[in-house]
Structure 1
Amino acid sequence: MSEMYNRAAPQDTVDNGQHADHGTSYARIKPEGVDTTHGAILYLENITVSFDGFKAINNLNLDISVGELRCIIGPNGAGKTTMMDVITGKTRPTAGTAFFGQSIDLTKMTEYEIAHAGIGRKFQRPTVFEQHSVFENLEMAMKMDKRVKTTLFARLNSEQIGKIEEILKLIRLNGQENRVAGLLSHGQKQWLEIGMLLMQEPQLLLLDEPVAGMSDAETVRTAELLNELRGKHSIMVVEHDMGFVEEIAQGGKVTVLHEGSVLAEGTMQQVQSDDRVIEVYLGR
């Protein structure tokens, strides 16, 4: 199993929500063991990351609310990837604190422990098991006992099959479940990988340029998918496609990074009209 996917996340308590567009049940996650009474699921304070004296992240402060979809934009070299590396434990900050909820200190955890706690990350290039079917990819990513004996002799129960069918519909791959993943289009592979993350029931999703290389139609459908996930998961999207960001921002906060710090933050309209953002990123 690729290390990109969470092998096991903590059991969550859920209340049932109704999927607005498809009429299927889709649970709203209430993280168990993650104290979010202050309203933030992710809290970064004074994060600095130095590489041989170069500050890739410079005194960065950022918080993401429970159920929020936050877009992160900025020029190349702004520190977006390094920030996600800090959140997932791939990079240790030189200074500062990073909390998941109120009590989980990410700076003291390994990558596996952070994934286990409920943070899922999707990189720009899709990584799926190309020799296996779409259904098998989702099955292998499912949150379950992965011990060898259980894996060898397990048979999916009706609830597990229902979960896979639900995700298939959500990611627009229902009817494609028996197709070999290697034959999917680039966009479909991206959706499948998002589906594999969702099978782990993460509380926070980090998506790095999810529409890079997609056709216009695939980009539109991806925007629809993320808008459907809004409120059911907390989501951070790093993206360069401004049209896509406008589609998913929907009046929520957009954060602009520059030289490792927050340059501006506000609605898409507010950051687009900010002279500092125009100068360093958007252009006139």
Structure 2
Amino acid sequence: MNAAIKGEGVDTTHGAILYLEDITVSFDGFKAINQLNLDISVGELRCIIGPNGAGKTTMMDVITGKTRPVSGTAFFGQTMDLTSMAEYEIAHAGIGRKFQRPTVFEQHTVFENLELAMKMNKRVAPTLFFRVSSEQKGKIEEILKLIRLHGEETRLAGLLSHGQKQWLEIGMLLMQEPQLLLLDEPVAGMSDAETVRTAELLNELRGKHSIVVVEHDMAFVTEIAQGGKVTVLHEGSVLAEGTMQQVQADERVIEVYLGR
């Protein structure tokens, strides 16, 4: 198995990197998540779609420890119980999350943003006197090419386009070598050209990381799904699951989300 996928301390011998069973989250009596079951395979790129209020963001909050379920189990690999871990412990275990709005250090250069992301990984930089080694500089160069920002490393992040900021934030997550990437509407607000390049980027990451993408742009989902599994959430539960073609033809999905 690819070491980049397997990760440190993450037991994925049963083939799943993430396993949610009967997860329920309640806010003042309202079930934002209702007995949700979901499993993500090692190296899989899974798209999650559904109407607003379907529970997509709450699901990500549960995975990252931001929200605690009232019942159910959530495992990262075979042994890490996410419901008993703090947010920082989950992040250090190898789960990286990107929110819809890009959060980069705008007064720092592109290179410095990636360097700072590396510093946040305590396995790489245990002291305040951290200096980038040639090997780590090579890693940054590799990420710069991957996220389409090679040649922009000295530019202030605040001067980047919206799409470029999104790519930079993905690059910052990659610097921390996550086994599981959670991406919340990664192409929201992007130009058509940026959306195409983002699809290319995620397709390049396929198999090297396990990736969960929450997205409303159906053309983008179709481009990155590539015959893989798409999960449709509705009212906090899985409404349908299958290839993009299968869920698009599902009468229940058409009725509650896609329309005719």
**TM-score, normalised relative to structure 2:** 0.97
Deviation track 1:1-28 (CA, whole Å, cap 9, x = no partner) reads xxxxxxxxxxxx965xxxxxxxxxxxx4
Residue 82 of structure 1, aligned match among 37, 40, 58: 58
Specify every segment of 5 or more residues in structure 1 that has no aligned partner in the other structure, as ranges.
1-12, 16-27
- Identify which of 235, 240, 243 aligns with 2:211: 235
Q: Report the equivalent of 1:95.
A: 71
Matched with 1:158 is 134
Picking from 75, 97, 118, the partner of 1:121 is 97
The superposition leaves residues 132-176 of structure 1 with CA deviations (integer Å, 9 ceiling, x where unpaired) of 0000000000135545xx33x332111000000000000000000
Alignment partner, residue 244 of structure 2? 268
The answer as to 2:207 corresponding to 1:214 is: no
The list of structure 1 runs, each at least 4 consecutive aligned residues, that deviate by more than 6 angstroms after superposition, is none
CA distance in 2 between counterparts of 1:46 and 1:155 reads 46
Number of residue pairs the alignment of both structures matches: 257
**Quick one: distance in 2 between partners of 1:179 and 1:32?**
34
Gaps of 5+ in 2: none
- Over aligned residue pairs, what C-alpha RMSD do you find? 1.1
Question: Could you say which residue in structure 1 is the equivalent of 2:173?
Answer: 197
Q: Is the 8 A contact 2:185 2:214 kept in 1?
A: yes
Q: Is the 8 A contact 2:5 2:210 kept in 1?
A: no
Q: Equivalent residue of 1:156, what SS? A: coil
Residues 216-242 of structure 1: CA deviation (Å, up to 9, x unaligned)? 000000000000000000000000000
Do 2:2 and 2:208's aligned partners in 1 also have CA atoms closer than 8 Å? no
Is 1:277 aligned with 2:253? yes
Give the structure 2 partner of residue 44 of structure 1.
20
Q: Which letter does structure 2 place at the counterpart of 1:30?
A: K
Q: Alpha-carbon deviation of 1:261?
A: 0.2
TM-superposed deviation, 1:127: 0.3
Name the SS for the 2:204 alignment partner.
Answer: helix
How far is the alpha carbon of 1:31 from its aligned partner? 1.8
Normalised to the residue count of structure 1, the TM-score between the two structures is: 0.89
Q: Which amino acid aligns with 1:54?
A: F
CA-to-partner distance for each residue in 1:162-205, whole Å, 9 max, x for gaps? 00000000000000000000000000000000000000000000
User: Which residue number in structure 1 is paired with residue 5 of structure 2?
Assistant: 29
CA distance in 2, matches of 1:33, 1:115: 13
Task: Output the CA distance in 2 between the equivalents of 1:62 and 1:14.
Answer: 23
